[in-house]
Amino acid sequence: MQVGIIVAALRKHRLATFLIAAEIALACAVLCNAIFMFMERRRALNLDSGIQESALGVVQLSGFSSDNANDINARVMSALRAIPGVESVGVISAVPFGEPGIRAGVSTDEALEQPGGVLDFYLGDSAALQALSLRLVAGRMPEPAEYTPVAQYVPSNAPVLITQQLAERYWPGQSAVGRSLWALDTRFTVIGVVEHLIISQPGGGEALGNDWSLFVPASPGPYLAGRYIVRAMPDDLPRVFGQVARVVSSAAPDVVFDQSASRTLSELRTEFFHDATVMMGLLAGVIAALLGATALGIGGLASYWVEQRRKQIGIRRALGATRWDVLRYFQIENFMIVSVGVAAGLVLAYGLNLALMRFYELPRLPAMYLPLGAAALWILGQFAVLAPALKASMITPVQAIRSF
């Protein structure tokens, strides 16, 4: 089937051809960005926090003074450890997907001339570190003597565990163990590197990466109290947290139990990504509606053209054209229209992405999503035109003559 014949036929229907090509261009632009946004949010939902969330929960208290912190820590941790099924209880400054803890900019030199970005500082005792069960990839874990009191924000000259992401960022191709970081008017010495430890609020804030965090060993005290990480077997954790409020209220009736913040980490994660989950549903709906509308537009136009060309189809069949020839004609015609729309849509997709980058801080659209969107529309176009094309291929010369 010669392309020239199809082009000549389309010239007689310029407005309809332009409108369907424009619809496809707009669909391509929106589809590429919608798929990209959907995949970005899906990737966020599957972030590796570096800890076994299903076995962990957090208990948060308030309403006590620093003078009573040690007493509160002792009473609450003792009561929590007494709950059947609890494996460990530790004091911690923050947990992933919970309220943010200490954040500060760091430098890789003492003169503070080489900024290293803003990091999340997790402070915790040995029981908290044990509960987190971080995967060590280099160096060692803190020794008992290295858990020291918090001066104000962090312990002075403390050893730290950093993530593999930070180690590769600060000292690429080199060992991070023994290196130093400076922040909060003190020096931190790297003693170990862990595979992952996600920041408390991934996807937001000033951190340049989701693993831009470190763990600082610290002993409980006035500046490290009121937030406890509880570890239990995943099957036991819901039962354990069903008793937490009663146990804490009994052990420390003089404090405020924060019901909304005292949750399992799985619950905190679900709540943290609630908006992303809703957005994924909306994007899936937009994608489905967009593809459906485009398919209806292509199919409707093809059906209209079949009715308009019944006489021409009958004449071609009479001259020897087979059903396959008629079917192929409409499929090729559709492919050409979709191709024109896709070509314009790919340019429009990048323009739309630039606007989203500017106003909504969306990352740059990777090139891989362009052929993905184009392929989806090409396939959709072929399926949408299939029914009208099959109908056209069934027209016989006699039927075409009788219709006029």
Hunting for tokens 């004091």 — which residue is that?
Answer: 91
Specify the pLDDT at position 361.
66
Q: pLDDT tens across 129-187, in order?
A: 999 999 999 999 999 999 999 988 899 999 999 999 999 999 999 999 999 999 999 99
**For the chain, domain boundaries:** 3-45+275-402, 64-254
Q: Which residues of the chain have pLDDT under 70?
A: 1-2, 4-5, 8-9, 204-207, 361, 397-404
CA 114 to the chain's CA centroid: 30
Specify the pLDDT at position 224.
94
Query: What is the model's pTM?
Result: 0.78
Specify the pLDDT at position 170.
95
Specify the pLDDT at position 269.
93
Percent of the chain with pLDDT over 70: 95
